[in-house]
């Protein structure tokens, strides 16, 4: 692994080392641990070992949607390679019985796979020793009415495992912990109110003894927050709002933002018209990463509400921003507002992938963030300095990111105003990239980004706040980008700030990405393909036609039989696929907040329906 890393360094002229990669001693310890992994897992489920939680993730397991705290989605498993992946075949399948968008990553812990579904958020435990036999199902029974306030289909982005518990969020604002062995509910904590338009769709991150979760509802005038619950009993440890006074945002003396415009008292109030911060969005529905060496968590906040920017003059802090916070106390360490006074629904919630790079000869602790605004940010994760920000998609709305101020420069004529139609804003509201998470390989040094190629025409409208209903104020009609395709899957070199290869897709590449030590990259498409491509060249090596479009997060694991498996959920939906999962009217462009117009042809290519697919190489032994 280290040797391969060195190879990659030479090849790309950069010194790339995965942040979470192991030292020699740790590596030997891991090797030893692998021998006793089965025993260790059963031990873990019975003893509470908080220390073990901070340990590196076992290669055979996939205990959180992003695989590791650094959010790499990289697996060291290497039985499946660029040479043999073409032989990959179906090992077993499992139907979820549901027909809405399946965005979750399955989890694997020891002999069991866990799958959390979209609403009604079933948790299935499947036995890996017997082809996915159903061990048990846990049903949190979320309120039915939650379906009506979920902005963009009733998706769920996955669960997380620690300390013998599977923890996930139900759509109606309950975080639940379930005994990983028995499927019995251990605790269930209510964190929000659907009557105020709140929902929860994100995957928790478990850090030491805390579960960190955030809310959804930026289109409903919801005030965003991130909350830490005690893993033991679900009680609240801390909560940090994205808007409002510093005491609510957990900003104190330790807060040292890098940029001038992010300094000052109570900016979460002062950058809004009176009271509007209370209904101002900044929800936290994306990915959280964690750096154990500094004990900081990193996450982005969503768009401000309403979308119509004329109704909220000011920077609207801290929407469309990134926070670094102390994991134990929640206190903010620094923040950067990616899109002050956001104009185009450019949330900041996309993943922050923690890597160590050598930039201009200097080793830097950075994080990579492909933002909705179409720029790929490389930030110093110790200070919040933006080291570089380059466009990774076709863009007309943002000219560049000014590295002195940290602010994007909006192109003239691309600012929406009430009653005025503005055409050809690219990227469209779902951004250069939406929730669909990228993967980073320390072997190639490349970031693999599933993304969109969309533009939009908008007219801002007046809108009044009515609790529990949308608070948007913009008529949007999206379209596929120039060349009439809707998505791209690309490989990006963060050290040079350049694209290495790209694959055009007819629809937005709305699935997660996975990259392995076999140098194989996996992703799915909305027109029902699940693909394997060469991590270095992007050459297609294998593909499989699923029953429905693939928008889930692929994972890999080593089964009890020692073989490497690949797993992914199919089941089209989500914001991009709502036209199919919600049976929307393709004659009207404005459906699904304008996404329908770009996806009118999707019903010709897929029907809804959730199915888990698990693949392996032929033969019994590795």
Rounded Cα gap, residues 165 and 114, in angstroms:
11
Residue-by-residue DSSP string for 530-549 = EEEEETTT--EEEEEE-SS-
Residue 146, interface with another protein (CB under 8 A)? Answer: yes
CB of 469 to ligand HEC, least distance (A): 4
E strand map for 117-192: 123-127, 133-138, 160-162, 165-170, 174-179, 185-190
Q: How far apart are the first and last CA of the chain?
A: 19
In the annotation, is 127 catalytic? no
Asked if omega into 427 is within 30° of 0 (cis), the reply is: yes
Q: How many Å is the Cα radius of gyration of the chain?
A: 22
584 binds ligand HEC (CB under 6 A): no
CA quadruple 132, 137, 141, 144: dihedral, nearest 10: 30
Which candidate, 512, 497, 447, 364, places its Cα nearest to that of 8? 447
Question: Please, are residues 373 and 402 in contact by the beta-carbon 8 Å criterion?
Answer: no
Residue 389 binds which of another protein, ligand HEC, none (CB < 5-8 A, kind-dependent): none
Select from 41, 449, 593, 614 the one that contacts another protein (CB under 8 A).
Answer: 593
Distance CA 399, CA 409 (A): 5
Minimum CB distance to ligand HEC, residue 119 (Å): 12
Residue 364 is assigned to a ligand binding site: no
Q: Does residue 149 bind ligand HEC (CB under 6 A)?
A: yes
Q: Which does 151 bind (CB under 5 to 8 A by kind): ligand HEC, another protein, none?
A: another protein
Site for another protein in 439-458 (CB under 8 A): none
Classify each residue of 382-418 as buried b or exposed e, where b means 16 or more C-beta atoms within 10 Å of its C-beta: bbbbbbbbbbbbbbbbbeebeeeebbbebeeebbbee
- Binding marks (x or -) toward another protein, 326..365, rule CB under 8 A? ----------------------------------------
Bridge partners of 362?
359
Give the active site residue among 61, 248, 345, 356: 345
Among the residue ranges 128-136, 203-211, 459-467, 524-532, the one whose residues contact another protein (CB under 8 A) = 459-467
Q: Is 368 in the site for another protein (CB under 8 A)?
A: no
- Of these partners, ligand HEC, another protein, none, which one is at the site of residue 566 (CB under 5 to 8 Å by kind)? none
CB nearer another protein, residue 278 or residue 329: 278
Contact yes or no for 53/208 (Cβ under 8 A): yes
Q: Is 351 annotated to bind ligand? A: no
Q: Which residue has its beta carbon closest to ligand HEC?
A: 148
- Of 53, 212, 95, residue with least CA distance to 569: 95
CA gap 465, 273 in Å, rounded = 14
b (16+ CB within 10 A) / e for 167-206: bbbbbbbbbbbbbbbebeebbebebbebebbbbbbbbbbb
Which of 56, 468, 538, 603 is close enough to bind another protein by CB under 8 A?
468
Q: Which of 37, 182, 399, 469 binds ligand HEC (CB under 6 A)?
A: 469
**CA distance linking residue 515 with residue 489, whole number of Å:** 13
Residue of 389, 377, 447 lying closest to 12 (CA atoms): 447
Q: Which stretch binds another protein (CB under 8 A): 73-81, 274-282, 480-488, 520-528?
A: 274-282
Per-residue binding string, another protein, 278-307, x by CB under 8 A, is xx----------------------------
CA angle 251, 253, 254 (to 5 degrees): 80
503 binds ligand HEC (CB under 6 A): no
Residue 324 as a binder of another protein (CB under 8 A): the answer is no
Which range binds another protein by CB under 8 A, 130-138, 319-327, 421-429, 581-589? 581-589
- Which of the residues 219 through 248 are near another protein (CB under 8 A)? 219
Q: Which stretch binds another protein (CB under 8 A): 49-57, 124-132, 555-563, 588-596?
A: 588-596
Q: For residues 49 and 53, give the distance between their C-alpha atoms in angstroms, rounded to a whole number.
A: 7
The span of 18-26, 139-147, 235-243, 395-403 binding another protein (CB under 8 A) equals: 139-147
Stretch that binds ligand HEC, among 146-154, 203-211, 226-234, 266-274 (CB under 6 A): 146-154
472 binds, among ligand HEC, another protein, none (CB under 5 to 8 A by kind): another protein
Is residue 420 part of the contact set for another protein (CB under 8 A)?
no
The response to whether 219 counts as a known ligand-binding position is yes
585 marked as part of a ligand binding site: no
Residue corresponding to tokens 């908008």: 458
C-alpha to C-alpha distance for 305 and 323, rounded to whole angstroms? 19
- Biggest distance spanned by C-alpha atoms of the chain: 67
Candidates 88, 123, 150, 428; binder of another protein (CB under 8 A) is: 150
Question: Binding site membership for pyrroloquinoline quinone: which residues?
Answer: 103, 157, 201, 283
Q: Which residues bind another protein (CB under 8 A)?
A: 99-100, 144-151, 195-196, 219, 274-276, 278-279, 461-472, 475, 578, 581-585, 587-593, 596, 608
Summarize as ranges the residues that interact with ligand HEC (CB under 6 A).
147-149, 468-469
The residues assigned a catalytic role are 345
């Amino acid at each position: 692994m280290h040797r391969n890393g060195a190879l990659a360094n030479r090849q790309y002229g950069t010194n790339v080392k995965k942040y979470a990669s192991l030292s020699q001693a740790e590596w030997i310890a891991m090797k030893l641990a692998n021998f006793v992994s089965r025993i260790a897992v059963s031990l873990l489920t019975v003893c509470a070992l908080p220390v073990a939680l901070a340990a590196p993730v076992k290669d055979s397991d996939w205990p959180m949607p992003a695989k590791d705290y650094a959010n790499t989605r990289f697996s060291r498993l290497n039985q499946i390679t660029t040479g043999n992946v073409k032989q990959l075949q179906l090992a077993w399948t499992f139907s979820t019985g549901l027909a809405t968008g399946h965005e979750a990553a399955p989890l694997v812990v020891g002999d069991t796979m866990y799958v959390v579904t979209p609403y009604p958020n079933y948790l299935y435990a499947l036995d890996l020793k017997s082809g996915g036999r159903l061990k048990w199902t846990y049903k949190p029974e979320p309120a039915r009415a939650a379906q009506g306030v979920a902005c963009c289909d009733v998706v769920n982005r996955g669960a997380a495992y620690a300390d013998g518990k599977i923890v996930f969020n139900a759509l109606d604002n309950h975080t639940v912990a379930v005994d990983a062995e028995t499927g019995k509910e251990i605790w269930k904590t209510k964190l929000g109110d659907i009557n105020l338009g709140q929902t929860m769709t994100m995957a928790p991150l478990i850090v030491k003894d805390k579960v960190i979760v955030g809310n959804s509802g930026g289109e409903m005038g919801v005030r965003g927050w991130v909350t830490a619950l005690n893993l033991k009993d679900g009680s609240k440890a801390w909560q940090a709002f994205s808007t409002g006074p510093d005491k609510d945002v957990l900003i104190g003396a330790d807060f040292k933002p890098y940029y001038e415009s992010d300094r000052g008292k109570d900016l979460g109030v002062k950058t809004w018209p009176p009271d509007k911060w209370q209904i101002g969005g900044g929800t936290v529905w994306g990915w959280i990463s964690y750096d154990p060496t500094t004990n900081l968590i990193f996450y982005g906040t969503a768009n401000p509400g309403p979308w119509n920017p004329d109704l909220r003059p000011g920077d609207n802090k801290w929407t469309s921003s990134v926070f670094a916070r102390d994991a134990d106390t929640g206190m903010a360490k620094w923040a950067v507002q990616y899109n002050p006074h956001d104009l185009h629904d450019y949330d900041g919630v996309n993943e922050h992938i923690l890597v160590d790079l050598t930039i201009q000869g200097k080793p830097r602790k950075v994080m990579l963030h492909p933002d909705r605004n179409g720029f790929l940010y490389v930030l110093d994760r110790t200070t919040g300095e933006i080291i570089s920000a380059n466009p990774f998609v076709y863009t007309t709305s943002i000219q560049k990111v000014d590295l002195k101020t940290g602010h994007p420069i909006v192109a003239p004529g691309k600012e929406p105003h009430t009653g005025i139609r503005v055409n050809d804003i690219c990227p469209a509201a779902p951004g250069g990239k939406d929730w669909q998470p990228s993967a980073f390989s320390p072997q190639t040094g490349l970031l693999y980004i599933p993304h969109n190629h969309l533009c939009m025409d908008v007219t801002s409208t007046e809108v009044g706040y009515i609790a529990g209903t949308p608070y948007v104020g913009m008529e949007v009609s999206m379209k596929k980008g120039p060349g009439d395709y809707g998505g791209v899957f690309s490989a990006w070199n963060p050290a040079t700030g350049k694209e290495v290869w790209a694959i055009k897709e007819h629809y937005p590449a709305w699935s997660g990405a996975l990259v392995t030590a076999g140098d194989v990259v996996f992703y799915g498409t909305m027109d029902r393909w699940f693909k394997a491509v060469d991590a270095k060249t992007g050459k297609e090596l294998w593909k499989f036609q699923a029953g429905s479009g693939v928008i889930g997060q692929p994972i890999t694991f080593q089964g009890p039989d020692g073989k490497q498996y690949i797993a992914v959920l199919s089941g089209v939906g989500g914001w991009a696929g709502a036209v199919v999962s919600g049976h929307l009217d393709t004659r009207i462009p404005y459906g699904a907040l304008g996404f329908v117009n770009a996806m009118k042809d999707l019903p010709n290519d897929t029907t809804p329906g959730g199915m888990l697919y698990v693949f392996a190489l032929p033969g019994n032994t590795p």
